Amino acid sequence: MTLPSQLSQDGSALEGAWRRRQLVVLAPPEQQSWAQTLLTPELRTELEATWGPGVVVASGGSTGGRRWCLQPLSHLEASAVATAEWLGQEGFDPAACLHLNPLPFHHVSGLLPLVRSNQWGARHQPVPPALLREPGALVEAVVLPDQPVLLSLVPIQLARLMAVPQARAWLRQLAVVWVGGAALPEALAAQARSAGIRLAPCYGATETAAMVSALPPDQFLAGASGCGQPLADVRLRIDARTGAVEVATDRLSPGWIGDGGALEPLPRTADGWWRSGDGGRLGSSGLEIFGRLDGAIQSGGETVFPEQLEQRLRALAQIQGWPLQELLLLAVAEPGWGERLTALVRPAEIANGGAANGEAANERAANGQALIAVLQAAVAAWPPAERPRQWLICGSLAPSPQGKWLRSHWQRWLQSREADQSPER
């Protein structure tokens, strides 16, 4: 059975399929036709007989390549149980909470609020994702009740809400705001602390049935960083050789649906741990994520994490008031160095006072070059391996709607530009 992302807003179609012991493929609208062919009748019968009801949902979008991950309903429910225990430790009765849900079901972080609410006997209230792009309308449409309210967001959604005073006040009333799916910029975290918003930065993956660690809001507000300690049913460790975050839990996915129409078991270490694609460390506050290991580069004998450098530059731009809308650092091979960084920059739009098209274009170009000049000056004292070798204006630069950077897409954009096949400058 394949269901579109626009399931009935209360999830009744999905719940009905699970009651019939069915496996459901959840796919976004643009992948509906293809997703219908993902499971052969034989494979579906085999998986349902072995694992019972559940979902097949996409994973791995942050690297530009998708895998279709099997998660049995029993694993999703185990995740809900662990989250309930975490809430209990924070002083909340899960059954007494309202779980708002602005994320689509074809993302595991949008699926889990439904599963949690069913498991806990709590209220689940879908929020149309479009409202997150209109904070004023969200505040009017979603009136908060007199009970603990839970919300899961990705950083780009949080940033949109934080930019509007009424939405900041609305967020301040929530009991817990889990934030995951992408790195939480330090500047955004600082704004949330200053506003008294009870963020709980968390870490998880589709392969782990969502959240495996979360930082308690009180610790966040007190200045702690990172993604907190592992949940009760999870063990975490860091691979000494690669620095990769490794996870052990009974709710690890059985595997991915391969191109050959078979289940490919989830790769595990010899002692049963799943190695994620993220680098990190275990500190005093728990798990700290450095960034995607597949995005780390070797430059001049140094290991460099572009995502960390991006966060530093974005935070500096915000403090200084520079008109920086988006920034992405990509690796380019360079003999003798291994790889060097190229910076893609999208300046923020500046009102041009009704200038003619040609004048407005010239003004945008001048503003872009001025922004690059101050960014270059800002990194002049950085180690050579961390300083971008090249800075390029990219007017279309943006993350995916879920706030993830599809780095392989922008790597292809950069290659196309360098081959002089792209008219954009």
Label the pairing between strands 123-126 and 149-153. unpaired
Instruction: Enter the DSSP assignment of 266.
Output: P
The CATH number assigned to the domain with range 296-418 reads 3.30.300.30
Label the pairing between strands 274-283 and 244-249. antiparallel
Distance between CA atoms of 414 and 409, rounded to whole angstroms?
9
Structural contact between residues 227 and 239, judged by C-beta atoms closer than 8 angstroms:
no
CA distances to 74, 126, 317, 329, 368 from 321, in Å: 49, 36, 6, 20, 14
How sure is the predictor about 29, in pLDDT bands with cuts at 50, 70 and 90?
confident
CA distances to 98, 173, 252 from 93, in Å: 11, 17, 26
Per-residue model confidence (pLDDT) at position 36: 77
Label the pairing between strands 23-27 and 2-4. parallel
Per-residue model confidence (pLDDT) at position 301: 62
Label the pairing between strands 234-238 and 244-249. antiparallel
179 - beta bridge partners? 153, 201
Indicate whether 65 pLDDT > 50. Answer: no
How sure is the predictor about 357, in pLDDT bands with cuts at 50, 70 and 90?
low
How sure is the predictor about 417, in pLDDT bands with cuts at 50, 70 and 90?
confident
4 - beta bridge partners? 27
In degrees and rounded to multiples of 5, residue 71 shows phi and psi of: -130, 110
Indicate whether 7 pLDDT > 60. Answer: no
Which one is predicted more confidently, 137 or 365? 137
Per-residue model confidence (pLDDT) at position 377: 95
Distance between CA atoms of 181 and 165, rounded to whole angstroms?
24
Dig out the tokens for 197 from the structure: 């918003």
Q: Residue 194 corresponds to which amino acid?
A: S
Top-ranked range on mean pLDDT: pick from 78-92, 286-300, 363-377: 78-92
Q: Residue 249 corresponds to which amino acid?
A: T
State how far Cα 320 lies from the chain centre.
26
pLDDT tens sequence across 85-140: 999 999 999 999 999 999 889 889 999 999 999 999 999 999 998 898 899 999 99
For residue 150, with 0-12 CB atoms within 10 Å meaning exposed, 13-18 middle and 19 or more buried, which class applies?
Answer: buried
State how far Cα 91 lies from the chain centre.
27
Top-ranked range on mean pLDDT: pick from 169-178, 261-270, 326-335, 384-393: 169-178
Structural contact between residues 396 and 344, judged by C-beta atoms closer than 8 angstroms:
no
Per-residue model confidence (pLDDT) at position 361: 65
Domain ranges of the chain: 2-293, 296-418
Residue closest to 264 by CA, chosen among 410, 68, 93: 68
Distance between CA atoms of 285 and 217, rounded to whole angstroms?
12
pTM of this prediction?
0.76
Which one is predicted more confidently, 424 or 158? 158
Q: What share of the chain is helix, strand, coil (3-state, %, to 5)?
A: 40, 25, 35
The CATH number assigned to the domain with range 2-293 reads 3.40.50.12780
How sure is the predictor about 179, in pLDDT bands with cuts at 50, 70 and 90?
very high
Distance between CA atoms of 199 and 399, rounded to whole angstroms?
22
For residue 132, with 0-12 CB atoms within 10 Å meaning exposed, 13-18 middle and 19 or more buried, which class applies?
Answer: buried
Which one is predicted more confidently, 252 or 302? 252
Distance between CA atoms of 390 and 367, rounded to whole angstroms?
17
Stretch 380-408: mean pLDDT: 88
Residue closest to 287 by CA, chosen among 226, 200, 234, 239: 226
Dig out the tokens for 421 from the structure: 């096949």
Stretch 17-33: mean pLDDT: 86
Sign of CA dihedral 402, 403, 407, 409: positive
Stretch 321-339: mean pLDDT: 88
Stretch 356-380: mean pLDDT: 81
Count CA atoms within 13 Å of residue 156 on its CB side: 17
Distance between CA atoms of 277 and 16, rounded to whole angstroms?
34
- Report the mean per-residue pLDDT for the chain: 88
